[in-house]
Structure 1
Amino acid sequence: MEPPSPSTRVRLKDVARAAGVSTITVSRAFSAPEQLHPQTRQRVLDAAQAMGYVARQRPTGEENRRPVIGVINPQLDNPFFHDLACAFSQQGEARRMDVLIMDSHDSAAQEEAAVDRLIACGVDGIILTVISADRRYRPPYFERLEKAGIAVILVDREVTAPHYGGVYIDNLDCGYQAGMWMREQPVERLLILSGPPDSLVTIGRVSGIREAMAGSRITLEVNYGDFSMTPAEQFLEKRLDQPPLPDALIGINNQITLGILAAYRRAGLPLPGQPGGPRLFCIDGIACAELLGMDMPSIRHDLKTMATQAMDLVEDALRSGSRRGSRQVVRGHLHLPGETA
């Protein structure tokens, strides 16, 4: 059999595709075999032999390149996801990995386009926060990622699609902490502004609040809407025309809480925390709120820990080539006004 011509020579990425692994895994099979699981390395070697691939004897740029990880966020203008993206970037530098940050703008079409661009770039792994918090959400690009052998790590939102592990917030605990704080306050009517009713985030946080409120005399009212600011503001503008008004509110995330503040300001009513205003609790927290004189009780999350755990899962997936990634849960902590951390 004649050796392949330069135009048809088998490349590193061809072997990776055939073996169902990343290009960096193929490279390590020849340059650093001790870093791979023996079964993974043998699968690569078998594919390489069948295709006639010959590893170059001297290291070149392709074999020595840094692993490339794509990060797709649903809303980079949301401080939560912006800060999380910064944490991923810092983790990448510390681990000598290149990190590409992309924004899906809460659009299914742009999310799919971002995935396809990262596949075309030949990334080794993708850290993904999908646009939907519905566990049943499963866009077709997951099959393309699986076929390309790209390790997918889910963050914040969990779906039943092929992936190598995930890092999630303990939403039930977030709601429970918020509810327990509110239960100790002198309030009678609590309004919860939440996200979609079928969202796992909504279900967890609202369930936690209800659990904490069990047996109390506080009247609960829940509005199911959207996780963004404008719908919350629009709903609350109408609700503030219908007495009796709530004397306490919980915003299920930071964007909803901003909508609450905007609605009260537009209505000309005392803002939460001001004399005559309602009590307000924000799950997720609002970045730098204390600098604006709006420090409020909230649940804050250790984004550095979330980024570290997600990158650990990526590295494990690239090293082992297996789907043994775990489901890791991060617990938020209660922040009270006046605290510095």
Structure 2
Amino acid sequence: MATTAPPNPAPAPKRARRGSGAVTLHDVARLAAVAPITASRALNTPEQVSPEVRQRVTEAVAALGYVRNHQAGALASARSRLVAAVVPTLSGPVFGPMLQALTEALAERGYQLMLGQSGYVDSREDALLDAIIGRRPDGIVLTGVERSPEARRLLLASGIPVVETWDLTPAPLDLLVGFSHADVGHAVAQFLVQRGRRQLAVVAGDDERSRRRERAFCQAAAEAGLPAVRVIRVPAPTTLKRGRQALCQLCESGPAVEAVFCSSDLLALGVLTEAQARGLAVPAALAVVGFGDQDFAADLNPALSSVRIDGQAMGRQAAQFVVDRAEGRDIPERVVDLGFSLIERGST
């Protein structure tokens, strides 16, 4: 039932008189001349109050700069409507499409995304997960399937839905959407072998997923009877500069390389840049394959062949997993293999 204003409403407080200095719901109620429970209803279940009360409370919120305590609401409903995602880096473009799709798909269902960056080397994931779990999100979206024993313990004990992405494993923690890095490495090696390339090289980041692609690439080359693949590892996250430096190393030692598989498109761009500086014809003298199929890959000259991962589909599926689990729906298929596409362009 709506509450009407008394004849002489209380004067508006300039600031909340609390030790923290924060504006409270009681301050909003005083300014709107309603009871605190009515102010709460106007904000949380506005259909239960009259339009006139809703307007007064809304104006009071705006005048005071009141920020609602979502944590208190989450405790009451056992739902935070918050989802946390952890990626190794926010500086590289490869995770962008997944995060964008994840954000949009969650927002459509009334959830918000909180991002964390774990790093590649000396990962901060354990401490980050401890902080995230303490805030009781409705779901956690992680990159990869490699976890420390402590991280696995925290996640399993939390009871929070967990979606692992960007990888495949026969034993996921909970839910999984990704692709096989070993299959990627094998497919790229076969692709280059079929085009008559024999002296192969890999320029790879030093993270575990890149190394898995590297190992599968080398194994497939050996199975085809090719000479040993020359491998150069660089720190992750990878950069154009590291790609240039890697091709310098390859050119200055050993036989001439005929094809290079890079663990990122940025590395591949660096290889292409250094090849042009050295007068190496691409693809006649050197074929180059990247990973990620970033927006710039098709616009290079020559256009870069690359492995395409559907990051948008990954983000949408991760969001669906989280929402289904948070809202109590059955999930018959807990693992989704999105696969990949090898896009052939001018660099091969």
TM-score of the aligned structures, taking structure 1 as reference length: 0.66
Correspondence for 1:146: 156
Correspondence for 1:187: 197
- Tell me by how many angstroms 1:108 deviates: 4.2
**Alignment gaps of 5+ in structure 1:** 1-59
- Tell me by how many angstroms 1:251 deviates: 1.0
Of 123, 142, 152, which aligns to 1:128?
142
1-side partners of 2:125 and 2:330: how far apart?
25
1:335 matches 2:346 = no
> Which letter maps to 1:250?
F
Of 239, 242, 256, which aligns to 2:253?
242
- Tell me by how many angstroms 1:89 deviates: 0.7
TM-score of the aligned structures, taking structure 2 as reference length: 0.65
Of 195, 199, 216, which aligns to 2:208?
199
Of 270, 274, 277, which aligns to 2:279?
270
Correspondence for 1:67: 81
> Which letter maps to 1:334?
L
Correspondence for 1:46: none
Q: How big is each residue's C-alpha offset from its partner over 1:262-305, in whole Å with a ceiling of 9 and x where there is no partner?
A: 5546xx3136637x651111132233223343412111011122
2-side partners of 1:152 and 1:231: how far apart?
34
Q: Is the 8 A contact 2:82 2:114 kept in 1?
A: yes
Q: Is the 8 A contact 1:68 1:125 kept in 2?
A: yes
For the pair shown, the structure with the greater C-alpha radius of gyration is 2
Correspondence for 1:318: 326
Q: Is the 8 A contact 1:178 1:298 kept in 2?
A: no
Q: Is the 8 A contact 2:141 2:165 kept in 1?
A: yes
**Higher alpha-carbon deviation: 243-252 or 154-163:** 154-163
Q: Is the 8 A contact 1:281 1:296 kept in 2?
A: yes
Q: How big is each residue's C-alpha offset from its partner over 1:189-218, in whole Å with a ceiling of 9 and x where there is no partner?
A: 11122345x9355335542564377446x5
Correspondence for 2:56: none
2-side partners of 1:304 and 1:255: how far apart?
20
- Tell me by how many angstroms 1:154 deviates: 0.9
SS in 2 for 1:87: helix
- Tell me by how many angstroms 1:219 deviates: 3.4
Q: Is the 8 A contact 1:73 1:103 kept in 2?
A: yes
Of 261, 271, 281, which aligns to 1:260?
271
Structure 1 moving runs of 4+ over 6 Å: 159-162, 321-325
Q: Is the 8 A contact 1:164 1:324 kept in 2?
A: no
Count of residues paired in the alignment: 270
Two-structure CA RMSD over aligned residues (Å) = 3.5
1:222 matches 2:233 = no
Give percent identity, aligned residues only.
19
CA distance 1:232–1:223, change in 2 (3 Å): farther
Q: How big is each residue's C-alpha offset from its partner over 1:216-272, in whole Å with a ceiling of 9 and x where there is no partner?
A: 6x534231524523655544433321242202111133344244345546xx31366
